[in-house]
Structure 1
């Protein structure tokens, strides 16, 4: 009887401890769960770090900030959080919208104190860019530096420290007081401290994770040894467009094309289709809503997902948004004018010192358009891991 009583007390004690432990449990991610619901599951993170990359993609500008599932998850939340603007109305995603390949259909995007000075560049395949500097005029040395520059801009997100704005330290204070960031920064970095460097690392990881390799081009490229071979899945017109895109033109003494292709790959080499780092400007030197010229815009986004698969453009093209169709874009390069004051025109566009004249035919234009459309996929527009995690 005595031993039975001792056993009963032991069991009762265990039950009591278990009950007390459960009652006292504090979920370390309660605020994340309350804010984001099932959109963010810290126990089952989306795959950002180990996405499939085709073997023919050789560029990678990750440098010392490798993508992690934790870091990119924090970056996704920061990217979509309007708290990053001074008046809590604008997020990074306001100007870089998933439905438009992370660009904007407006010529200039709306900020907290006006509009952007240039059209918002698409963010597709930033990790695989040949050019490692960012912004149209390459003023950011790398993606990490770029991520917080719009936040510090008076017109865009308003933590500039000028014109009555709070300095960037005001944002640090603001985010540090938000409970879900306390949990998230500890989850990613081991403690709750919010710093500019940590914000930059997370945002850059998220942006670099945005990739697009499910296009008709990728399906074809996987079946051949190199880009110069005909793609089995292409139409005759698409293969013609590819050849025109890849093949350099031949010019006479005054810049008229006499043979060859259009030479687009001279600046937008396959398979990344990003801008060559040594490029000058492309002859478009205007500014938005102004009469002055700007010859410093020498960067461009990848041509991947320039349009959707149905040919719908993902917003206007060029830093001024002055071009709105693929036909107009190709037409621009068809006849390059040597504008007064443009001392930074890319040499490849002025053969023998003359603005190039490609003498395009309608079938050639249509073939190149058909090819460019093959560079677009569909997943980038719908994948939940790149979508807004905040409930509607």
Structure 2
């Protein structure tokens, strides 16, 4: 861990000394390539607010890990996130798989890359900063967000700078970006130097991704007026409050894992008010794969449950790492009956009470109430805010 984090710390200290408010018109006049490439979609004299966005007082988790968001660096991260030049054939960007209109996910089960498709469904990037889990990818193979950001770029199938199978190595991308005048100017603007390094790319991309937040939901309006999550929310319908109670309350099981009372226990893994995943979770019983045979029991991470659907109820793409679940009703139904599949030695213990796969014995009223509650977790700003949009 020390070897991975340490290179970032020196640059973090440098970044903390930068003052975004000191940008002047005279300074910006020295960046004509940025103006030519982006017009008024990026205004270096009036930067978007990434660094000081309001965060509700009840949100306590923060995995910034020393990479404090700066308006300048996050602006660079936005350009990198949407730039297809980061792929070997100039056809794929980070945003190709993580689309703003779909809560920074993809409506396809798997996403297309330069030499194939992704091996898992593209995870939503909502509120990644506000989670106790600091590892990334479904199988947690990236120790932090900074490390994760360049792993798809180095993947042969996804963005194609792998250094294998005829691909250029990652250094080929550095050379490529260094020849683009708007990056010379943006790196100078963000870091005080035109030099492009992998560490700088990772820091900028991570800052932009961590800036993507959603706290304008019906849930947030209710939580702001309540003492805690258990208290009934005054802006909720009776059905939504019932769904919230079912979500929060642990179930009561008999000796064979059959629910006899209590709620559904969703909060045991998806903890409010952030609705992030418990870092100690096992898998959820979905152990299939997209592009291979056999089983995969390593998928223990999940995105926040915020913005599972848009305000109109339209799903932001399929759910789970295989994209096998496409509706909230199906998702709840999956947890209603957990089967102990042969070979799944990594099933979360909370889903196998007393050694049996849980049976929640849900009725239609309970299912509809939980769906109504989950819909309250969706906002609107994240889908349309220009600061998270494509600048090209």
TM-score normalised by structure 1 residue count: 0.93
Task: Please point out which of 78, 84, 87 is paired with 1:85.
Answer: 87
Change in Cα spacing, 1:26 to 1:256, as seen in structure 2 (3 Å) is closer
SS of 1:287's partner is coil
- Say whether 1:138 aligns with 2:140: yes
Task: Please point out which of 204, 213, 216 is paired with 1:214.
Answer: 216
Identify the residue that residue 289 of structure 1 maps to in structure 2.
291
SS of 1:150's partner is coil
In 1: Cα distance, 2:344 partner to 2:193 partner:
51
Identify the residue that residue 226 of structure 2 maps to in structure 1.
224
Task: Please point out which of 96, 99, 103 is paired with 1:97.
Answer: 99
Asked whether the 8 Å contact 2:28–2:45 carries over to 1, the reply is no
In 2: Cα distance, 1:306 partner to 1:70 partner:
30
Identify the residue that residue 357 of structure 2 maps to in structure 1.
355
In 1: Cα distance, 2:88 partner to 2:294 partner:
30
SS of 2:50's partner is coil
Q: What's the CA shift for 1:130?
A: 1.8
Identify the residue that residue 323 of structure 2 maps to in structure 1.
321
Identify the residue that residue 47 of structure 2 maps to in structure 1.
45
Identify the residue that residue 165 of structure 2 maps to in structure 1.
163
SS of 1:38's partner is coil
TM-score normalised by structure 2 residue count: 0.93
Identify the residue that residue 69 of structure 1 maps to in structure 2.
71
In 1: Cα distance, 2:78 partner to 2:281 partner:
31
Matches for 1:21-32 after TM superposition, within 5 Å: 27-32=29-34
* Deviations 1:45-64, CA, capped at 9 Å, x for gaps: 00000000000000000011
- Say whether 1:148 aligns with 2:169: no
Task: Please point out which of 234, 238, 257 is paired with 1:255.
Answer: 257
* Deviations 1:355-382, CA, capped at 9 Å, x for gaps: 0000000000000000000000000000
* Deviations 1:193-235, CA, capped at 9 Å, x for gaps: 0000000000000000000000000000000100000000000
* Deviations 1:214-273, CA, capped at 9 Å, x for gaps: 000000000010000000000000000000000000000000000000000000010000
Identify the residue that residue 125 of structure 2 maps to in structure 1.
123
Change in Cα spacing, 1:198 to 1:364, as seen in structure 2 (3 Å) is same
Mark the runs of 5 or more structure 1 residues left unpaired by the alignment. 1-24
SS of 1:172's partner is helix
Identify the residue that residue 343 of structure 2 maps to in structure 1.
341
In 2: Cα distance, 1:26 partner to 1:313 partner:
41
SS of 1:317's partner is coil
Identify the residue that residue 241 of structure 1 maps to in structure 2.
243
In 2: Cα distance, 1:248 partner to 1:64 partner:
35
SS of 2:129's partner is helix
Q: What's the CA shift for 1:26?
A: 10
Identify the residue that residue 380 of structure 1 maps to in structure 2.
382
Q: What's the CA shift for 1:291?
A: 2.6
In 1: Cα distance, 2:381 partner to 2:116 partner:
32
Change in Cα spacing, 1:26 to 1:226, as seen in structure 2 (3 Å) is closer
Q: What's the CA shift for 1:121?
A: 0.1
Identify the residue that residue 276 of structure 2 maps to in structure 1.
274
Q: What's the CA shift for 1:27?
A: 3.5
SS of 1:128's partner is coil
Asked whether the 8 Å contact 2:329–2:367 carries over to 1, the reply is yes
Mark the runs of 5 or more structure 2 residues left unpaired by the alignment. 1-26
* Deviations 1:326-367, CA, capped at 9 Å, x for gaps: 000000000000000000000000000000000000000000
Identify the residue that residue 10 of structure 1 maps to in structure 2.
none
Q: What's the CA shift for 1:96?
A: 0.1
Identify the residue that residue 367 of structure 1 maps to in structure 2.
369
In 2: Cα distance, 1:313 partner to 1:213 partner:
18
Change in Cα spacing, 1:27 to 1:357, as seen in structure 2 (3 Å) is same
In 2: Cα distance, 1:227 partner to 1:73 partner:
35
